[in-house]
Amino acid sequence: MARERILVIDDEPEISELIRLYLTREQYEVYTAPNGQYIEEQIRSFCPDLIILDILMPGADGLELCRQIRKWTNVPVIFVSCKAEDTDKIVGLTVGGDDYITKPFSPGELVARVKAQLRRQSMLPGHNRPKTLVFGDLTVDLSAHEVKIGGQTVPLSATEFSLVVKMAEQPGRVFSIDELFDLIWGADHMGDTRTVMVHISNLRKKIEPTPANPKYILTVRGVGYKFSTAAD
């Protein structure tokens, strides 16, 4: 069985080496880079299953790199940063990140988050699921791991796609924010449930004709969200 591959981009050699050592112990294949100068070539040649990306780097920062990464792949991206403000985390998730961890962090926490992202990724698509889910002009293709609006592919992060699948597989069911967080990130994940709201907001901007008046992902006030059966 091939080992899962992780690309680490961080300009601090000590941090990169620490991450590499801990992930290698977990039997992952790890490639490190000091910056994203050759990010497209790195992705195409190494074919990572997950990317760990520092935000504050000379040249193109991690946020800009993530925007570029999303042009070529939707594999999970975990940001690492010394910036701990909520607004910084929201920006990171908005540009396509799947998770955000603040420096200094414990290696064990990072490993746990990596495992959670890869575990979730491996569950898509499932063997007993239909190949496609269709709601009007929106199509969720589980085999191709993509969403289309009117036949046009919409670039989604791995987390955004997981959220769409979880809700679209059970249209009309109301999911609480805590429930969605547990389903996507895992009940033992050490994150903030407000992350769900950020990703929902991102999704609406990408798949809703009018994000302020959504027809697919509806808010159930005081409870959570549901995928509308009226969308078709």
Q: According to the model, what pLDDT value does residue 230 have?
A: 64
- In order of start, what are the domains of the chain with their CATH numbers? 5-122 (3.40.50.2300), 132-231 (1.10.10.10)
- Please check whether residue 174 is in contact with residue 223, taking contact to mean a CB–CB distance below 8 angstroms: yes
Nearby residues of 59 by Cβ (< 8 Å), 6 or more positions away: 35, 36, 37
- Where is average pLDDT lowest: 1-5, 23-27, 77-81, 219-223? 1-5
Q: Kindly provide the residue ranges of all beta strands, DSSP E only, lying in 142-179, ordered along the sequence.
A: 146-149, 152-154, 174-176
Indicate whether 188 pLDDT > 80. Answer: no
**CA-based radius of gyration for the chain:** 17
Nearby residues of 186 by Cβ (< 8 Å), 6 or more positions away: 116, 119, 120
* Residue appearing with tokens 């594999």: 75
Q: According to the model, what pLDDT value does residue 152 have?
A: 92
Q: Is 37 left (phi over 0), alpha (psi -120 to 50) or beta?
A: alpha
Residue at 167: amino acid letter? M
- Tokens (6 digits) for 35: 């910056």
pLDDT tens-digit series, residues 120-173: 776 654 444 457 888 888 998 887 888 999 989 999 988 899 899 889 888 888
Q: According to the model, what pLDDT value does residue 232 have?
A: 47
Q: What percent of the chain has pLDDT over 70?
A: 91
- Contacts of 10-14 with C-beta under 8 Å, sequence gap 24+, read 10/34, 10/52, 10/53, 10/54, 10/57, 10/80, 11/35, 11/54, 11/57, 11/58, 12/54
